[in-house]
Chains A and B, each alone.
Chain A
Amino acid sequence: MAFPAYLATQVGYIIALAQLNNPTSAAQTMPIGTGPFKYSSWEPNDHFTVVKNPDYWRSGLPYLDTVTFKPIVEDESRENSLKSNTIDLMVSHDPGIIRDLRDSSSYQQVTDLYSTVGEPDMDFICLNCETGPTSDLTVRQALAYATNPEEVVKLFGDGVLTVNTSLYPPGSIYRPADNGYPKFNLAKAKELVAKAAPNHGGSISIQLIDIPDPRQALIIQALQSMWQAAGMTVSLNQIQQVTYIDQLVGGQFQAAADEQFASPDPDLNYVWLSPTTANPPIALNFARNKDPRIETALQQGRTHSDKSARVEAYQTVDKLLAEDLPYLWFSRAPWSITGNTTVQNFANPILPDGTKGLGFAGGVFSPTQIWMKA
């Protein structure tokens, strides 16, 4: 069932033999593909420019002659660049910026907040189920009861985010009516901390890691305060993204603020959720949750073409995640793409057979059918 979705990932990319056989560094810096645009130039940290591919197999496309991608790291700089007409189109992940640009008539915006293809990205805390205090289910339960997602969303959602304590967003067929995820209950959290503490030397100390982002810093400070209110000792560590990823993959963390799981079909998340990928040295199941029931459900979803069987399988996955608690959910992590009014058709791709393609998911969009209004 998920095969077409897999084909739209790296699995489906056709790479030229000439590139694979090229022993020089040009093979890595000058890609050869089958897409609508051809490589033109790349200046690391500055721009990547592509030009129209005259031999593109879909006649009449693309409409644009040149597209320049600029890596503007800071969200505010990107927003200012759009507002000053320095750029035409920008991707953003920041709820405050999504709100600002959404409410302005000078721009047009597409977000995955209200409709999405499959599952959107989720904001959550990833807990290491293999080592440290978070390997104890009672500690994970204490953390879940001590976390108030409503408060987090109220403080940092900028009026854009809504609470989501499930792997799936509201309206998804895979979302069970009640997955059993723990609701905020400080008294219960304190009770669980008292129960678990003797097994951890008398007190529970958690280190929460995150990337060095100002908004994230505030979020993890709020979590620190919530968890400490339940009687745990919490230290924060904001580390560079490459180190952060190393620690997630290598399992050298206890709790990590994370976002993940955008996929057009739930089977594409198999690699992140399956116990088969929770083993060293490189565990893509970062939480290392090895519940065999999850594997059974994932296999059921993967091997059945019957819709109801798949729905049942992925609802079971969600319920088991709420029981095992490898993830503490908060809300959806929204993506948006905003353009000035001259940029047309940036979320309405039409497939070669005339059907409508997937417009915008997980921050990814296709520039093939964009045109600019004079």
Chain B
Amino acid sequence: MARYIGGRVVQLVIIIFFISIVAFLLVHLLPGDPSTAILGPNDTAQARAELLRQLGLNKSLPLQYWTWISNVFHGNLGISFLTHQTVANAIGVAFPIDLELIIVSQLLAFLVAIPLALVAALRPNRLFDRIATTSTYAMLAVPTFVIAVILVLVVAVKIHIFPATGFNPIGQGLWQNLKTVLLPSIALAVGSVAIYYRLLRADLIATLQEDFITMARAKGLSTPYILLRHALRPSSFALLAGAGLSIGSLFTGAFVVEILFQLPGIGFQLIAAINSRDYLVVQGMALVAAIAYVVINFGVDILFTFLDPRIRRA
């Protein structure tokens, strides 16, 4: 077990190292002089001197990388030459929004998908299963931005329950915060519900045909008990793998929802920074998003080892 986790940690470090190189080179792949590209209209002698100091652009490429990565380890990702705020501060504002959006949306997705799959798998191809399967097909077919627009028009504009745009930090009160997070979370959760339902349903149907389930039934155990205690865990591997991929991609993939709801998360800030050519912010945000993606998938892999003893033994 320890050896397996140790091996995965080494892999993680190597992947993050390569990610850091790509993020570092992002600025150097810009056409022309990187300092001119980064500073744009703010290209003054003072700003240029500050940028040279920050990035060490007058040194060799390996030394520049070393300067940059040392700064990153000290939490210094540079200063935006557009807003004059630190990139770390911008990420500090954006990251918790994504985190909350992902947690709430995935909780909603699991809350809907797991009971649906459990009931549907119990009697496959019956009425409930067919309705649930067809509905999830429809959910998969409707793009997130369409769902988001419908939610805004119905729940925010017509009924006035939730605001149409903006984000209230949790410091302003839990309900005030949830009011701004629920609609975008629902919009993001719909696609996940469809995927999770389908993955879990397929595995549950297979698991429910296993001998140990027959044995449990023969022992007179109740159906809910069999489903929750015996069938759910061995059927959840594909679900977890899907969740890992889905959660990781939400860090940047949620940008459409963030733009529609004006949530200044990582995706939203990244798009704004790209549009305004705020390259140090792009670099910092891309680094954080990529690391978040691989760390979440690493976490999911580790979770597998607890759920499936075969992985530990392999």
Contact = CB atoms under 8 A, between A and B. Distances in A.
A113 B82 CA distance: 34
B163 interface: yes
Contact of A84 (B40, B85, B164, B262): B164
Interface string A26-67: 001100000000000001111000000000000000000000
B132 to A, nearest CB: 31
Nearest to B179: A86
B262 A25 contact: no
4 closest pairs, A vs B, by CB? A84-B156, A86-B163, A80-B164, A25-B84
A101 B262 CA distance: 21
B16 interface: no
Interface of B: 40, 79-80, 82-85, 90, 93, 152-153, 156-157, 160, 162-167, 259-262, 264, 268-269, 272, 274-277
Interface of A: 25, 28-29, 43-46, 70, 72-74, 77-78, 80-81, 83-87, 240-243
A46 to B, nearest CB: 4
Contacts of B162: 84
A45 B269 contact: yes
B85 A86 contact: no
8 contacts: A44-B80, A70-B262, A77-B260, A81-B165, A83-B157, A84-B156, A86-B166, A242-B40
A331 to B, nearest CB: 27
Nearest to B163: A86
A70 B264 CA distance: 11
Contact of B163 (A25, A43, A45, A81): A81
A77 B164 contact: yes
A83 B275 CA distance: 28
A80 B93 CA distance: 25
Nearest to A82: B164
A138 B165 CA distance: 50
B262 A72 contact: yes
Contact of A241 (B260, B261, B269, B275): B275
A337 B40 CA distance: 32
A10 to B, nearest CB: 15
B264 A72 contact: no
B161 to A, nearest CB: 9
Given A73-B259, A86-B166, A242-B276, A80 B85 contact: no
Contacts of B274: 240
B228 to A, nearest CB: 40
Contact of A80 (B156, B264, B268): B156
Nearest to B156: A84
Contacts of B275: 240-242
A43 B157 CA distance: 26
Nearest to B166: A86
A369 to B, nearest CB: 26
Given A70-B262, A73-B259, A80-B156, A44 B85 contact: yes
Contacts of A80: 152-153, 156-157, 164-165
Given A81-B166, A242-B277, 6 more contacts: A29-B83, A45-B264, A70-B165, A80-B152, A84-B164, A242-B40
A23 B259 CA distance: 35
Contact of A29 (B85, B153, B259): B85
A78 B260 CA distance: 10
